């Protein structure tokens, strides 16, 4: 269950063989992670004053003040995702990372900042520049060929076509992503394209999805945090308002959510209170117990190589693990083609499902889908 390599390089996750270190990255940045350091200090160590906060159970982070207002102005959960870092002070102001983006406030007087001061970082541009892709990858060179009737070209020399063009032409999506800064490029079955503020992926089975570049950028800057205690008196994020009450029952209102019952070895997908799919699973063996609690899908990979160590010190490696959905740290739901039966404990902590069932769940569950794990 501990990961050292991923197959689709624009998706997460790189993980150490040492337990729960939560490093997430694509294959072409593996060699860079060890040399990169944090860029700022945790806001808890500063003198910043945040007047109101809300707590996100899925990531263990709080969001408040001007960053909360800026997050709402920039689309909230739908466009930015949940916070995955604390607010930190940098050399030029303040920053906070989210699943799909990073917000920056240049005014160092954070207690005087307002939502309009929070700017969406050009994370696609800065991340690919940092990784050397802008200079080395051919997809980032301006396109010199002829442009067909169903292709849109831009002044920077890049083009949009096919499913990416159809998605980008939505006004909200084009505002969210900005202009393309690369051409399409393929890794395995997945096609990617990078924009000023983000990236899109396309897979023949799952269509167009937004790549969580905020996670990559947080990792590279040493700021990824996926756990934290709820501060006393801080409400749980629920309906998108700063005055949100503690969360209602998972799935209320018809939303998708996943229930994992470790006692019955079952996983059930719900829409509201209606079960829509169920399967038997294999959970963590006694020496690798599966985490219990309330979480949410924060990363998806259509295929991944997993490597780690057994309790006796021997190494294991499983290639091409399909339909991987991470819901907390190193814990994921994924297909297990190497198993012929299910309904018992025996994994390295992940939730193993039959490949066909894992494929259905992968196409059904969105980023942020709640996951409840209990006995």
pLDDT tier at 73 (50, 70, 90 boundaries)? confident
Rounded CA separation 146/150 (Å): 12
The length of the chain, given as a count of residues: 375
- Per-residue model confidence as pLDDT tens digits over 217-232: 888 888 988 788 888 8
Confidence category of residue 121, pLDDT binned at 50, 70, 90:
very high
Q: Tell which wins on pLDDT, 93 or 21.
A: 93
E strand or H helix at 195, and its extent? strand 190-195
Q: What is the rounded distance in angstroms from the CA atom of residue 371 to the CA atom of residue 368? A: 9
309 strand-pairing partners:
315
Q: Would you place residue 26 in the very low, low, confident or very high pLDDT band (cuts 50, 70, 90)?
A: very low
Q: What is the pLDDT of residue 101?
A: 92
Q: Give the model confidence (pLDDT) of 37-64 as tens digits.
A: 334 444 443 333 344 789 988 788 999 9
Give the pLDDT mean for 166-171: 81
pLDDT digits (tens, 9 = 90+) for 172-184: 788 889 999 999 9
Mean pLDDT across the chain, nearest whole number?
A: 79
User: What residues are paired with 257 via a beta bridge?
Assistant: 270
Task: Return the closest-CA partner of residue 325 out of 360, 294, 292.
Answer: 360
CA separation for the pair 75, 214 (Å, rounded): 15
How does residue 206 score in pLDDT terms, banded at 50, 70 and 90? low
Question: Which of 170, 65, 47, 183 lies closest to 118 in space, CA to CA?
Answer: 65
Q: What is the pLDDT of residue 108?
A: 67
- Domains (ranges, CATH) in the chain? 125-213 (no CATH), 250-374 (2.40.440.10)
**Over 60: is that where the pLDDT of 5 sits?**
no
Q: Over 80: is that where the pLDDT of 83 sits?
A: yes
């Amino acid at each position: 269950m501990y990961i050292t390599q991923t197959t689709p390089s624009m998706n997460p996750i790189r993980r150490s063989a040492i337990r729960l270190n939560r490093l997430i990255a694509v294959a072409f940045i593996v060699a860079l992670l060890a040399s990169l350091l944090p860029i700022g200090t945790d806001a808890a160590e500063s003198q910043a004053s945040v007047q109101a906060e809300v707590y996100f159970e899925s990531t263990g982070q709080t969001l408040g003040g001007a960053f909360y207002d800026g997050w709402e102005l920039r689309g909230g959960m739908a466009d930015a995702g949940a916070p995955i870092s604390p607010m930190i002070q940098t050399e030029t102001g303040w920053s906070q990372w989210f699943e799909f983006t990073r917000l920056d406030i240049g005014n160092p007087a954070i207690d005087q900042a307002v939502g309009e001061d929070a700017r969406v970082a050009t994370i696609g541009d800065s991340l690919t520049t940092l990784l050397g892709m802008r200079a080395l990858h051919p997809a980032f060179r301006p396109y010199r060929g002829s442009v067909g009737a169903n292709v849109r070209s831009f002044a920077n020399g890049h083009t949009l076509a096919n499913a990416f063009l159809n998605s980008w032409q939505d006004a909200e999506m084009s505002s969210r992503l900005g202009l393309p800064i690369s051409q399409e490029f393929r890794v395995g079955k997945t096609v990617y394209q990078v924009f000023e503020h983000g990236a899109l992926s396309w897979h023949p089975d799952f269509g167009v999805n937004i790549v969580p570049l905020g996670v990559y950028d947080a990792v590279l800057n040493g700021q990824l945090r996926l756990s934290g205690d709820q501060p006393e008196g801080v409400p749980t994020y629920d309906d998108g308002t700063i005055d949100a009450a503690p969360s209602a029952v998972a799935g209320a209102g018809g939303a998708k959510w996943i229930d994992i019952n470790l006692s019955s070895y079952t996983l059930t997908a719900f829409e509201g209170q209606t079960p829509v799919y169920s399967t038997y699973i294999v959970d963590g063996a006694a020496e690798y117990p599966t985490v219990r609690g309330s979480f949410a899908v924060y990363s998806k990979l259509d295929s991944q190589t997993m490597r780690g160590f057994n309790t006796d010190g021997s190494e294991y490696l499983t290639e091409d693990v399909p339909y991987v959905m991470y819901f907390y740290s190193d814990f994921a739901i994924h297909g297990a083609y190497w198993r012929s039966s299910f309904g018992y404990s025996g994994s390295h902590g992940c939730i193993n499902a039959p490949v066909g069932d894992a494929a259905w769940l992968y196409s059904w569950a969105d980023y942020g889908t709640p996951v409840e794990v209990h006995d």
